[in-house]
Chains A and B, each alone.
Chain A
Amino acid sequence: MNAAAPILLEMRSITKEFPGVKALADVNLVVRAGEIHAICGENGAGKSTLMKVLSGVYPYGTYDGQIVYQGAETRFSDIRASEHAGIVIIHQELALIPDMSIAENIFLGNEPRKRGAIDWKAANRMALDLMARVGLQEDPDTLIKDIGVGKQQLVEIAKAFAKDVKLLILDEPTAALNEADSRHLLDLLRGFRSRGITSIMISHKLNEIEAIADQITILRDGRTVETLNIQDGVDEDRIVRGMVGRELSSRFPDHTPKIGEVFFEVRDWNVRHPISAERQVCKNESFVVRRGEIVGFAGLMGAGRTELAMSVFGRSYGVFESGTIVKDGKEIVLKSVADAIAHGLAYVSEDRKALGLNLLDDIKASTVAAKLSKISRHGVLDEVREYQAAESYRRDLRTKAPTVDEGVAKLSGGNQQKVVLAKWMFTDPDLLILDEPTRGIDVGAKYEIYGIIQRLADQGKGVIVISSELPELIGLCDRIYTVFEGAITGELARADADPETLMKQMTSTKKMQTR
């Protein structure tokens, strides 16, 4: 349908330089009206920079090249100018105010007025209309903090419609969504397409791109590699090849597990919600981990996997009720994170920027942060040992940074994750709990992180992987537990795990027969 469609947007030989770095070099992008155009590339390939040029975050004059939009060259001076032209960008980190209602958020900065005052009647009516268009069934007075991430995403899109959007740009729209919400969002995008709205979508989830995109532009190292047409039979491997410039023989490194004895066991674990005490977030959960084993935890968003992991990790979540932890045959009580670290547990959180790292630190300080005692004598830190430790992990994990003096805020997602991994490897744990270890990370870095996880297992450590991506769990884990509404509902060996079975157990209330 779209080969003949008129060109809506053309970005011609865009070049954007930062001091010392060429972020974009001669990038070309052609988007036709009414299509879904995906932009792929590894982290640091220049996707976000390109979108910032387009939306006026980097105003005209700070880049070289031309933007032709709706047949005329445009020179946006700021975001307001691009929004005025109908280009709306929805960032991965949602820009909503949690303590305001849906309607208030939709019309924030754009409030319908009557004689100077906000016309709330009209706002609510228009909000309902916009919400219907994105398939969001909620009271417009509901506060943003009371609805899930998936619905918040829809509010963002409704907000874009309030601005009369012609070109919708979504940056990693499904990164934080579970499978059901993702599917809903993709359906929504298809619906927009049939109504003639053009979308640009940045995503690392290649299966989604394959399922939804009409055209795919691949960036690598700040340059346009190619634009693929989905009708020419493009599959995931083809996209990966373009992104990394080489064929990844497999998405997962080859690995023969060396599984030993059970060394870590959680029995009858019960935890209550930290604020509403009547809510039980962990219901009688029990699981075991063997040495050298990679154990997966599958579940939908909100199933309570993170809550389980964090409550085991020194009661860092919720109100502990009952349950025992047995490690190496002995019962241990972990009342604080410090206890957990001392007993050889490590927890790599799902949100590396909010919970995993102090973004003011450099790589050095981040690497040693969870076990300062290892580089200090009588509480006095040894700078040289700190440097050496950080440097050896940087080399070992191939963290891309000129030196370990580099601030972690400057690193890309994949490299930040490597620093977080180094931080926890530095504590010499026996059991590593990795919560969404590859979220928002590009394909090449994912492969490397899988390799690191396998190496850790081969050293005789137990590894727990919590992930919302089923292919990742199936490809990486030796055994997978499924969690639904705070209870463990199933356990599958790698050989028996397939997406359908997992999904069934992830959504069933029936408790499986424990062996």
Chain B
Amino acid sequence: MLGQFPRLLSYLKPYKKRVLLAVILLLSISFTPIVLPKLIAYTIDTVLPTHNSVALFHVFLAIVAVYAFRGVVSFWLNFTIGWLGQRVVFDLRFQSYRHLNRLSLAYYDSRQTGKIMARLMGDIDFIQQMISNGFITFLADMLSIVVILVVLFMYQWKLALVAVAGIPFYVINFKLFIRHIRPLSVELRERWDAMLGVLQEKLAGITVVKAFAREDYEIDRFMQTIQDNFNIGMKQMKLNRKLGSIAQVIRAIFTGLIIWYGGTLILHHHMEIGELLAFSALVNQLYDPAVRIVDFNVTVQWTVSAMQRVFETLDTRPEIVDAPSAIALRQMHGGVEFQNVFFGYERGQEVLHDISIKVDPGQVVAIVGPSGAGKTTFVNLIARFYEPSRGRILIDGYDLKKVRLESIRRQISIVSQESLLFSVSLKENIKYGFHDATDLQVVQAAKHADMHEFIMALPFGYDTKIGEEGIKLSVGQKQRMSIARAAITDPKILILDDSTSALDSKTEANVQAALEYLMEGRTCFVIAHRLSTIMSADLIMVLDAGRIVDVGTHEELVAKPGVYQSLYNEQFRSATEDGLEALLS
């Protein structure tokens, strides 16, 4: 269970000196809690009865000195601990994020963004709390228990035995209740999440609720979930309070016992009243640390599972890394060749089967096929988001695996159906493809994408922010923004993955014009459903169930029976025939 712990400790290693400092500081203030009761006892038992006002003034000075010492040391200690926790968090986060960026797309395919974020933020925060609070509190508790016990036994061992006898009751009471409370907390958490789920779903899907007029039904369902929350919340409170109440009574019984037995001891002159007062003050500092120590393993368990999640991310090996001997392909021409490429996302499930195709620089290739045929997978392999399980992909005759990843991706641009833009200014979004671009180049790219006039009409022009705090762009505008972003990189290979299918026809015409401009003189791979796009391609590649079933020009393919012909017939004939009649009439 503690397997991850040494690894966490290794994060503290660079800060060995500060850790050592913290330990020394901790040791040096651990005796301060016992000083004050002793001084009070001394005052009551010795100073006051003897009317020694000089000694009284010394007590005054001593108390001030102890507090001053304690203040300085504890500030230093807490600051050091806080710093250590924050620093380790920073290191862990930095490492995790850097690692996340190295991981290949396959990692992201199988995980939700929310979960990755939870690791990066929540889990790492938890570890920080563990370092800053959990560990130190544990150490401090251990120390203070030992010191207090030693002092108590030195005062009066019989009385100390009475005090110690209370601890087991206290701890057992805690253990008995907590066993039932913890599962309830987990359940409460689950119910709460369930409630959030219902809310999220039904508020996001409000159109469905309203369309079926299911408002009352939904209110009832929601009531059920919050009623569940209510019931468990009450149950948990009851158990918590019972635990607290019994603990309170146990403490009172033992404090009472100590006073009674201590008083008897005073009567027999085995002890003095000040000592008894100091004793009972010290005993009070014994119970809570004892429970915290007993409960420490739970904190450890939580931390370990948080650590496991974080380290799991760190231990995932990126699938795609540059070979040590990889060369940088500075000037790409854009020739692409697939040689007997096989690929599957999961073992035993082949998505691409024995793909071989050769594309010359500057050619436009249309990829056609039913959904699930492997079209997107095919283009993803060109950008080396995934590695073929067999076969080779060559760019300008170089094996993709032997070329530096970055140098290739810089020269390939993808415009996909969903345009993902960032919440920064329009200019920065366009420059995302090429950070060193000049303003002139940005304007040019925007012009190519037919966005320049729109942008200039905005009050802040290119510095207008988009996203939540800025303006909202329409789907067509977003699409043209991502075209501008692709244009500025001057890619040699352009991949258009269903770039226009979510647009209506008028918007599409605009975007199409921008795309055609962008496609000029580059090798292009186009996944599209529109006949006009497909027909103007130099080469049409028909995929079905991961295999290339046909390659050729439109004229060649439409002439022979096959997948393309039937696709073509299915989608376009009825429409075109009708149109033809109208056109010919």
B partners with A: no
Where the two chains meet, the residues of A that have a C-beta atom closer than 8 Å to any C-beta of B are none
